[in-house]
Chains A and B, each alone.
Chain A
Amino acid sequence: MKRQTGKWIGLVYYIALLIFLQLPILLLIIFSFNDSVLLVFPLKGFTLEWYRQLLSATELLNAAKNSLIIGLVSSIVATGLGTMAAIAIARYKFPGRELFLNMSTLPLVIPYVVLGVALLILFQALGIGLSIWTIMIGHTIVNIPYVMLIVAARLSGFANNLEEAAMDLGATYWGTLMRVTLPISAPALVAAFLSSFTLSFDEFSLAFFLAGTQNTLPVYLYSQLRFPNRLPLAITTAAVVILISLGILLISEWLRRIGADRALKAES
């Protein structure tokens, strides 16, 4: 009897929290179809005007393109470097291992504003102009620890004996790395890449300090928020980004399931 009551209270609370969390985002999507510059109820009518304007907003599309390039390049670099470090950390004991772990995971807790201004100072001191490449470098720094922890966790789940078997059968170390270690870590690599990309694509605070004249999408959006009459277009961009990231999420979940199925089949 008591448990039943608890269940109902829990359900009501869950639904209330779900509404609290989802409603603001739903509102953005609804207003992106509203035929008015003002974001107020009652709704004025259905329109695709904002979406039409979106297609011809060159500045915005440029920013989106920059975000895409930065996301891809920084994720590839972070996944590569992070995986190298992860293999070393998961497979070897060496002097300085603890030191390296502490140093490389520090970006997980360092405030982005601190890292942003520190990199800004570095680039200024070296005389390097700000561009999409400086943002890209900033994003690799915050992504490397995530990649490292994700891949190392996967590798420590597997004992070293597969790799030993390959080498006993005459494979070279690098051959083993390419044909055993990396395939074992493949699901983790994909997960690490996607999480890096998502973080980079959405990241604002670092990009704000490291952007030169080329904006990223979040930096562009932020600059638009000061002008009330540009809010509808910002919100429409928001709606599109939300739908795309939902798409990416579904794809990565699907990939993860395929991976899990394969693992199950391999076990049986």
Chain B
Amino acid sequence: MENKRRLFFLMTPPSIWLLVFFMAPLLIMVLYTFKESTFGSFLPFTWENYEQFAQTPSFFRLLLDSSWLALLTAALSILLAFPVAYYLVFYTGARRITLLTLLILPAWTSFLLRVLAWKVILGSNGLLNQGLIGLGLIQEGVPLLLYSKAAVLITLVYVWIPFAALPLFAAMERIDPRLHEAAQDLGASPGQTFWRVTLPLTMPGIASGFFFVFIPTLGEWVTPSLVGGVDGIMYGNLIQDQFARALNWPLGALLSMVLLVLVATFSYIFNKFIPITEVPVST
């Protein structure tokens, strides 16, 4: 009885806050997908937005494109971060935390500013072009890279490498070094040890690194709006556009709901393999 009262006291405020400002908005968003226009009443319900969504192949194509870009971003971030995590864990001894901190320091500076830095580097008057002119490789500044899919990819990979490195580092640190010795004592070559001991044991880190890059990238719209140009837009820009410019909130709500369902599905599948929300009870 006592416990119930305490629990009630502890759980009520956070539950109400989350219900009102998190669950309710999502539900109202779903209702909005049946609305005829941004302003005006909810009734009568209409399937118009759903029809428009189904009849606009570019929506679906952009969703596919963005998923592919997110996949590529996640894979590249992990690929680039992997060797450095490996080096830090297995070669640097006690200094590894300091070296890791130096590496992930950029992650603490503003996301927007890191994207801005790449806008400066990739622009047609940007540093990359100047460098290429300096080397005599090209004659004049061309917007080679800015405002393209490649620019979005480079910038996102740059932004995410530190976040991909962390779970890899953590997973490798948990590997018992004696396992390596055992493998070598049993006659495994360094290559075999890597493929059959280190890599399988790092898999949880790879999976969570992949997840934590892939999911936020899928919903990205800020990076493409700054460095992507017309070619580089992502699905998120479509949503942002409906609310900020086109003022078609019902369609925006539908686009947004589709993204939510996609992300929820991915998270559900992922959570089956690596639970992020498991908190043990210690009573």
Contact = CB atoms under 8 A, between A and B. Distances in A.
Asked if A pairs with B, the answer is yes
A122 B116 contact: no
A110 B78 CA distance: 22
A205 interface: yes
Interface string B225-252: 0100000000010011001100001001
A11 B103 contact: no
Interface in A67-121: 80-82, 84-85, 87-94, 100-115, 117-121
Given A111-B218, A114-B256, A198-B108, A144 B236 contact: no
B113 A242 contact: yes
A22 B106 contact: yes
A81 B17 contact: yes
A125 B42 CA distance: 11
Interface string B242-283: 011000010011001001100110010000000011011111
Contact of B18 (A13, A138, A144, A245): A144
B199 interface: no
B205 interface: no
A132 B280 CA distance: 37
Interface string B80-95: 1001101110010000
Nearest to A224: B116
A229 interface: no
Contact of A41 (B32, B91, B127): B127
A84 B12 CA distance: 9
B121 interface: yes
B130 interface: yes
Contacts, number: 243
A222 interface: yes
B162 interface: yes
B24 A10 contact: no
B283 A234 contact: no
Say which size band chain A's interface belongs to: 35 or more
Given A25-B114, A28-B117, A100-B15, A14 B88 contact: yes
A152 interface: yes
Contact of A155 (B7, B114, B282): B282
Contacts of B183: none
A173 B6 CA distance: 9
Given A38-B125, A82-B14, A225-B119, A101 B277 contact: yes
A31 B120 contact: yes
A204 B221 CA distance: 11
A14 B113 CA distance: 23
A158 B283 CA distance: 10
B281 A93 contact: yes
Nearest to B282: A156
Contact of A118 (B18, B26, B127): B26
A117 B256 contact: yes
Nearest to A27: B117
A50 B117 CA distance: 17
B283 A91 contact: yes
B103 A18 contact: yes
27 contacts: A6-B91, A10-B87, A10-B91, A11-B87, A13-B83, A18-B103, A24-B120, A27-B127, A81-B17, A84-B10, A84-B14, A91-B282, A92-B281, A109-B215, A109-B264, A115-B25, A117-B252, A118-B25, A119-B25, A141-B18, A144-B14, A198-B108, A204-B111, A221-B112, A234-B116, A235-B116, A246-B105
Interface of A: 2, 6-7, 10-11, 13-14, 17-18, 20-22, 24-25, 27-28, 31, 38-41, 80-82, 84-85, 87-94, 100-115, 117-122, 125, 137-138, 140-141, 144, 149, 152-153, 155-156, 158-160, 173, 198, 202, 204-205, 208-209, 218, 221-222, 225, 231, 234-235, 238, 241-242, 245-246, 249
| For the complex of A and B, 6 pairs with smallest distance between CB atoms | A111-B219, A10-B87, A24-B117, A118-B25, A122-B25, A88-B10
Given A103-B23, A137-B21, A241-B113, 13 more contacts: A25-B117, A85-B14, A110-B263, A113-B219, A117-B252, A119-B21, A121-B25, A121-B253, A140-B21, A149-B277, A221-B112, A222-B112, A242-B110
